[in-house]
Amino acid sequence: MKPRESAAFIASVSKDVKLNPVGIKRVASEIVQAIVSQEFEPNNMMIHSYPLPVIEDASSIEWMFVADALNFSFWALEENAHYSVELRGNQYTGYMALCAAITKAQEANIPITSAKYYANVTKETVNEIFMSSTGEPIPLLEQRWIILQECGKIINDKFDGKFCNCVRQSGNSAQKLLELLVSNFPSFRDEGIFEGERVSFYKRAQILVADIWSVFKGKGLGSFSDIDTITMFADYRVPQALVHFGAMEYSDKLNKLLSTNHTFMNGDQEEMEIRGCSIHAVELIKEELKSQSVNFNKETLPINSAMIDYFLWEYRRRFATDLAKVPYHKVRCIYY
């Protein structure tokens, strides 16, 4: 099953995670207020606030591919001990620290976004490029090195050394690009078995599609006629925001596990319930937004799941102190 169908199925039989219609409406209301007040501008997403590419050309696609190939597992057991990287006097954490590290490498004339380069990059070099400002290695260093080499070799062998050639093969279809990613790159195959059914989440593959769409503002190489078919990107932070708003609720048993910093395994029942219900919650929020009589500009403010995900992810970062009291699930894996 594709992510949307997988999520609906998981939500329909979930035992420890439930969706609350009142919380769903609350998130939709927060998004409407943020857009009307221009506090949140979906047409800009977040590319001007962080060390992400803003140039609408093929180089940005190569940049985003490396970033999202490595976009996983930045959490720490202690809230003040996250992976961090300093860039131009600013300290970034989590995924943005990874982005800062890529930018620093480029400024040091390291061709980190070239498939020909990272197909043969050494583990030692990966460690140096992505080293935390505290001197600690990036989490899952070995896996990131393996993934970089694997992805580089696939791009060189199948797409003439440029990931943008893969994007061109999609024919401006988000689903076709998603299919190309999942079928050609093993590390993007974010799947599992739930209640005897094969389900999918495709967090990193879908966020790569959405990031390309966002950087290009839905034009040129980022023009995907079916971008609305992409779901939210099921990680560990957006569920935290959904719980904060009351859109998702956990059982006492699950809350107890989360409050003790329990580390789940990728594929555990509780972990898949959290991710599946998160995707379905965002689909319900999207439907609620569509039903509201707010005069959005359809060209610059598309109401889709990627937009809602960006809002929730950004909200969690902006109000990190407030949301720190909401426990989130922790899984050390390559998928998110």
- Residue 8, burial from CB neighbour count under 10 angstroms (0-12, 13-18, 19+): middle
Q: What is the extent of the structural domain holding 53?
A: 3-331
Above 70 in pLDDT, residue 126?
yes
Six-digit token string for 8: 């609906």
Q: Which residues pair with 90 in a beta bridge?
A: 87
What is the reported pLDDT for 303? 82
Catalytic residue among 68, 235, 268, 322: 235
**Most confident by average pLDDT, 71-85, 178-192, 296-310:** 178-192
Six-digit token string for 10: 């998981």
Residue 93: inside a domain, yes or no?
Answer: yes
CA 134, 320, 105, 144 dihedral sign is: positive
What is the reported pLDDT for 40? 81
From residue 176, give the alpha-carbon distance in Å to each of 89, 135, 220, 236: 40, 40, 16, 26
Active site residue 235: yes
* Position 299 confidence tier, pLDDT thresholds 50, 70, 90: low
Instruction: Name the domain count of the chain.
Output: 1
Residue 95: inside a domain, yes or no?
Answer: yes
Residue 336: inside a domain, yes or no?
Answer: no
Six-digit token string for 204: 């990193």
Do 123 and 68 form a contact (C-beta atoms < 8 A)? no
CA 81, 85, 90, 96 dihedral sign is: negative
Do 101 and 110 form a contact (C-beta atoms < 8 A)? no
Residue 122: inside a domain, yes or no?
Answer: yes
pLDDT digits (tens, 9 = 90+) for 26-35: 999 999 998 8
Residue 201: inside a domain, yes or no?
Answer: yes
Residue with tokens 């990287």: 85
pLDDT digits (tens, 9 = 90+) for 270-290: 999 999 999 999 999 999 998
Dihedral in degrees, nearest 10, Cα atoms 18, 232, 137, 122? 140
Residue 69: inside a domain, yes or no?
Answer: yes
Residue 208: inside a domain, yes or no?
Answer: yes
Average the pLDDT over 96-110 and give the result: 96
pLDDT digits (tens, 9 = 90+) for 132-142: 998 999 999 99
